[in-house]
Amino acid sequence: MAGVSLFRFYIPGFLKTFTPFATAALLIFTAGTASFAAEPQATPTPEIHRIADIFQPLSRPAELLLEPTHLVLLICLGIFLVVLAVLAYVLIKFRPRGPEDHLEEPPQVYGSYNIEMAWTVIPCLIVFVLVLVSARSIVEIQDRPMPEDALQIRLIGHQWWWEIQYPELGIITANEIHVPVSSKDGKPRPTHIILESADVIHSFWVPQLAGKTDLVPNRVNHTWIEPFKTGVFLGNCAEYCGTQHANMLLRVIVQTPEDFQKWVENQKQLPSEPKDVIAIQGKKDFYDLSCVACHKIDSTPAEGVFGPDLTKFAIRQTLGAGVAANTPENLHAWLFQPDSLKPGCYMPDMKLSPQQLDSLVAYLQTLK
C-alpha cells in the first residue's frame, strides 16, 4: 500500500497543537462511559487507569488506531475552519447596510462550473485518502498473526454481563478479564479474544486497549489486545443491548506474568469448604433455593449457566458486571433485591429471609 504510507509523514507536525483540543472534547464525551459505580475494595489492586481515553493508548491495537484518528480529526477541523471562514466572510460582506438593501434583488447566478467541480473533486479526494488510511489500519490489526502460544480467551456477551472462558486453561469466570502484560521490546504477550453472544449484539470496548468489536449472535468475531502497562483498564459494552446496557461494564486486569500465573493457579483450585456455621448453612441454602439453576460452582451440583460462574466469585472486584464493588454490604443488597442495584436485570428477587441473606453472603465470600 504505497499510497497510504505517503500520509504518514505529515501527521506528527500538527499533533502537538491539536491533541489538547481533541483530548478535552473526548474527555467530556467519555466521562459518562468511564465512570464506574463504585470503587472496588475486595482485593487490593494496582493502578486503575481511570479515564478510558483513546488518546492515551496503552496497548498495540489501540496504538495503531491513534494515527488515523488524528488524521480524520485534523481533516474535519480543516473543513470546519474553511466553512466557518467562508460563512463569516459572507455574513459580514453581504450584511444589510440600510433599508433600501431590502428592496433590491441580488444578482441571480445559475451554476458555476468551477465551484461545482471544487466541491465534488475535493471531497472525493478526502474520502479517498481516508479510505486508504483506514484500510491500512484495518489490515494491520485484523491480519496480525497471533503467536502459537498466545493466550486465548472466549468472551461471551449476555444481557448484561460478560462470560469469560480460558479454553486452554479450563477457567471460566465473569466480568473481569485477567491477562499478562506484554513488553514492547521483550517477548510480546498478546491475548487473542474470540467474541460471541448468547442473546443480542453487544460490543467489546476497552478504549485504551483496542477499538470496538461487536459480539454478534451466531457469529464468531476476533480481536486481540497487547497491553504494555499493568493495572486495571475499564471498558464497557458499546452497543445498546437493552435496559441495563449502561451497566454492562468490563474490567481488564493486566498483571505481571508472575501475578497472572498466580491468578491462574488459584482459579484452577477448588474453593475451600466453608468452615463457620453460618457459611455452611449458606452453602446448604444455595442448593435449597434455586440458585443452582442459574449459577455454576465447580465440583458442586451447581451447574447452571444462565448467570455468571460463581466458583471464584469472592476474588472479583465488582459484582453485577461492575455495578457495585464486591463488598459484603453490596452483596447483601444485591441478593436482597438485584433490581435495587441493576433495575431490570435477569437475576430474580428470590424473596430471601434475613437469615438466608446472611448465610448466603457468608458462603459466597468463601468462594476464593
107, 140, 162, 321 from 310: Cα distances, Å: 76, 38, 13, 13
Order across the sheet with 151-158: list the strands: 171-174, 161-166, 151-158, 191-197, 221-225
Burial zone of 359 (CB within 10 Å; 0-12 exposed, 13-18 middle, 19+ buried) = buried
The least CB distance from residue 364 to ligand HEC, in Å, is 5
- Residue 179's binding partner among Cu ion, ligand HEC, none (Cβ under 5 to 8 angstroms by kind) is none
Q: Are 141 and 61 in contact (CB under 8 A)?
A: yes
294 lines the binding site for ligand HEC (CB under 6 A): yes
Distance in angstroms (rounded) separating the CA atoms of residues 327 and 333: 10
Q: Does 164 bind ligand HEC (CB under 6 A)?
A: no
Contact region with ligand HEC (CB under 6 A), list: 73-81, 99-107, 188-196, 312-320 = 312-320
CB of 326 to ligand HEC, least distance (A): 8
Beta strands in 55-184 (DSSP E): 151-158, 161-166, 171-174, 176-180
Among 155, 181, 319, 333, binds ligand HEC (CB under 6 A): 319
Q: Which of Cu ion, ligand HEC, none lies near 302, with the C-beta cut-off 5 to 8 A by kind?
A: none
Partner from Cu ion, ligand HEC, none contacting 342, C-beta within 5 to 8 A by type: ligand HEC
Indicate whether 364 belongs to the interface with ligand HEC (CB under 6 A): yes
297: contact with ligand HEC by CB under 6 A: no
Residue 42 identity: A
Cell of 243: 435496559
Measured from the CB of residue 151, what is the shortest distance to ligand HEC in angstroms? 21
Cell (9 digits) for 139: 489490515
Give me the residues that bind Cu ion (CB under 5 A), please. 202, 237, 241, 248
SS3 label, residue 240: coil
Minimum distance between the CB of residue 31 and ligand HEC, rounded to whole angstroms? 23
Among 293, 303, 340, 343, binds ligand HEC (CB under 6 A): 293
Grid cell for residue 64: 495503531
Residues 6+ apart with CB under 8 A from 180: 151, 189, 191, 254, 255, 256, 257, 260
Q: Is 89 exposed, middle or buried (0-12, 13-18, 19+ CB in 10 A)?
A: exposed
Instruction: Give whole-number Cα distances, 214 to 34, 53, 219, 240, 241, in Å.
Output: 19, 19, 10, 11, 11
Nearest approach, Cβ of 212 to ligand HEC (angstroms)? 21
Whole-number minimum distance, CB 209 to Cu ion, in Å? 18
174 is a site residue for ligand HEC (CB under 6 A): yes
Nearer to Cu ion, 151 or 195 (CB): 195
What is the SS3 assignment for 89? Answer: helix
Task: Determine, following the binding rule CB under 6 A, whether residue 228 of this chain makes contact with ligand HEC.
Answer: no
| Cβ-based nearer residue to Cu ion, 29 or 240 | 240
Using the rule CB under 6 A, which residue among 321, 325, 333, 362 binds ligand HEC? 321
Among 71, 249, 316, 366, binds ligand HEC (CB under 6 A): 316
Interacting residues toward ligand HEC by CB under 6 A: 160-161, 174-175, 244, 286, 289-291, 293-295, 306-308, 310, 313, 316, 319-321, 335, 342, 345-348, 350, 360, 364
